[in-house]
Chains A and B, each alone.
Chain A
Amino acid sequence: MSNGAFALKRAGFGVTARRDAWWIQPLVTFAVFSAFIVYSTWAGMQGEYYHFGPYLSPFYSPELFGESPHRWIDAVKPTWWPAWMLWSPAFFVVPFPIGFRLTCYYYRGAYYKAFWADPPNCAVGEPRKGYLGENAFPLILQNLHRYFLIPALALIAILAYDAWVALWFKNATTGVYEFGLGVGSIVLALNAFLLGGYTLGCHSLRHLVGGGLDRMSESPARMVSWRCVSCLNNRHMRWAWFSLVWVGFTDLYVRLCAMGIWTDWRII
């Protein structure tokens, strides 16, 4: 159907009759997402200052290879890693949460607005006429979000374990690990909690646990799971924002402690 006769049709880029500050939302999204991308890329490529005492940066967890006591395999890096190529233990971790967030339904809507202006905001004119949506490559790959969910769920378990480990401090004199609580322990625990709230409220998870059924009452366990996921899903955007900011801050906290710039205060 063509609406060409309608004189008000097809406003130019940014043209709108809206009176509110519609540009603030995409601008803030653009600024925060860009800052996170720049910081996380930089931090992930450093390969140092990513652990401090019992704390391990979430960008480096699980540390499959590495130099810290948290590493899973007793080697600094894989033997097959090309000598000329930059190495960081984060290279085995970061692609999974990045893939999960990039394909997340909330983030998709947010970055299509903020980075592609498609549209810049509701009822605001767009810069392009052509539009393929998520029907063609590469955006058709967004449909694989559920496959990024699997490592994301595993990461939650690993980060929860890291938060537990962050409660056990090595006694410098006896060498025995003793229970304790530092500010960093709280930072890591909160990180696992926020990432858990974000991941467990995932739209794909909601579908997989029960949303795909029309008669959920015949599968009571799936219905309960669907309700639990739906409960978190109601606030998916908030979980997404808080967890994004906090995971960046957690890395920064561990990094600055490891660099000796910040002091990790012990509470217990």
Chain B
Amino acid sequence: MATATFKIWRGDTEGGEYGEYQTEVSEGMVVLDAVHQIQAERAHDLAVRWNCKAGKCGSCSAEVNGMPKLMCMTRLSDINLNEPVTIQPVKAFPIIRDLVCDVSWNFRAKKKIKPFKPREADAADGTWRMAQEDVDRVQEFRKCIECFLCQDVCHVLRDHDLHEQFIGPRLFVYTAALEMHPLDEEDRTGDLAAEFGVGYCNITKCCTKVCPEDITITDNAIIPLKERVVDTHYDPIRMLVRKLRGG
């Protein structure tokens, strides 16, 4: 058994500071285990949100040594324990207390996205036919567990606070799942260009880097959406053709 030091953010909307805690760590432990141990041993009022401990519920998002991570999927063996391990809440959303943030903005912003609008049924019994290869592409987006680590690391939300103008990577993934769906007929490119602010994304790929589900957010969701917006808003030849066709 070795002893490790953890600096955990303690505070609320009024402010706060790092609390320093030492605890014994053993093989196989993850950061969330250490936080629970500290909570049990010496910080009984430490607020931390968690649920599945299996990287599937997306509840225990935090910043471990400055990088957004799921605490339950971050092994202590991957961290240098010779120095204190810093754990702080995600920065892109308002703190409630300690490691718990209010991420409800994401659900409010999600409501702005036009819902799935399937084409008319293909068969008389009201059912549709889809080719597997057409839905394969959007399956990747359905892996999202809504941990909002991508929202946290995105500098447009994190550093520039543009929550009113920009919906963030998670919601672009959601939009892409709808927009690229083979049955969907809704057009969201106007919203993407204006209200959703896809133009604010400057392709840092940080969202892809932190995604615990390995969704290729930038290349497979955001850039294809940007290209669709180019089709409708910036490509002069396509705009001319549409005009000539009376579109």
Chain A residues in the interface with B (C-beta under 8 A): 1-3, 5-11, 16-20, 105-106, 108-109, 112-113, 118-119, 122-123, 125-126, 129-135, 139-140, 143-144, 146, 203-204, 206-207, 211-212, 214-217, 223, 233-234, 236
Contacts and interface: CB of A to CB of B under 8 A. Distances in A.
Most buried by B among A3, A134, A140: A3
Contacts of B184: 214
Q: 10 tightest CB-CB pairs across the interface, nearest first?
A: A17-B66, A18-B66, A133-B200, A217-B131, A122-B206, A207-B227, A109-B203, A143-B234, A1-B163, A135-B199
B163 A133 contact: no
A7 B16 contact: yes
11 contacts: A6-B95, A7-B15, A8-B9, A8-B88, A8-B91, A122-B210, A123-B158, A131-B155, A143-B230, A214-B180, A215-B131
A108 B218 CA distance: 12
B159 A211 contact: no
Contacts, number: 151
B169 interface: no
Contacts of A132: 200
Contact of A18 (B65, B155, B158): B65
A203 B223 contact: yes
The DSSP consensus for interface residues of chain A is loop
B116 to A, nearest CB: 12
Interface in B19-52: none
Contacts of B163: 1
Contacts of A133: 156, 197, 199-202
A10 B159 contact: yes
Contacts of B203: 105-106, 108-109, 112
B144 interface: no
A218 to B, nearest CB: 8
B134 A217 contact: yes
Contacts of A143: 226, 229-230, 233-235
